[in-house]
Amino acid sequence: MIVTIDGPAAAGKSTAARLLADRLGFRYLDTGAMYRAAALAAMRAGIDYRDLSQVDAVAGGINLSWAGTHLLLDGEDVTDAIRSPDVTEATRYVADSPRLRERMVSLQREIGRVCDLVTEGRDQGTLVFPHAECKFFLTADARERAKRRAADYAAQGKHVAWEDVLRTIIERDQADLSRPVGALRRPPDAFQICTDGLSVEDVVRQMEALVRKRQLELS
């Protein structure tokens, strides 16, 4: 079974997806991490990551693999390195590359072919797994999302002003919504959950109940 969770940056997708996957005994896939690692690869290659033709040219050589929940780039664990504000900033440009998206989509589908999956991103329920058995779309107010992301940075010992986080989130929303391929869209058949004012536990409980219901319908 494939469960997709899409939505804008910092809507609470990652934590909810990880917990939901644990409860269902499914594998969890963080597709944003894959685009982030691709951005890190582009930065390390010294190319101009705003130039799509340069990203397209290196996309085929990006070597990503998963070791459990750790993401490896050329065998090196980059799970923490891909969370820096610099990588976050570069990712939205890199993610516009059609060749890179093609490659990521095929890696994601390969994983979905071999196991039950809770996969999280922007295009999972629309483009990557249009036939997923259960789809969610998580939203939250941009100011609320900026507060959460600023708290994440603070927990990592990085102090980024809340206003800067909000500005970055709004810019990323615009980039994610206007991308020619793989743009953020609510799948018409997705359950939409607004996470404002809800605890992670509330969100995961709602999602788990809906997935279990779907499992019963399909059995």
Q: Give contact residues for ligand C5P (rule: CB under 6 A).
A: 9, 31-32, 35-36, 91-92, 95, 121-123, 172, 175-176, 182
Smallest gap, in angstroms, from Cβ of residue 75 to ligand C5P?
A: 22
Smallest gap, in angstroms, from Cβ of residue 23 to ligand C5P?
A: 21
* Contact by Cβ (8 Å): 187, 135: yes
* Closer residue to ligand C5P, CB minimum distance, 171 or 196: 171
SS3 assignment, position 33: helix
* Closer residue to ligand C5P, CB minimum distance, 200 or 209: 200
* Closer residue to ligand C5P, CB minimum distance, 103 or 172: 172
Smallest gap, in angstroms, from Cβ of residue 219 to ligand C5P?
A: 29
Smallest gap, in angstroms, from Cβ of residue 200 to ligand C5P?
A: 16
* Contact by Cβ (8 Å): 132, 191: no
Which of 164, 154, 204 is CA-nearest to residue 13?
204
Smallest gap, in angstroms, from Cβ of residue 184 to ligand C5P?
A: 8
Q: Which amino acid, one-letter code, is at 108?
A: Q
* Contact by Cβ (8 Å): 59, 100: yes
Angle at Cα 91 formed by Cα 87 and Cα 97, nearest 5°?
145
* Closer residue to ligand C5P, CB minimum distance, 177 or 209: 177
* Closer residue to ligand C5P, CB minimum distance, 130 or 213: 130
Distance of CA 176 to the CA centre of its chain: 11
Q: Which amino acid, one-letter code, is at 140?
A: A
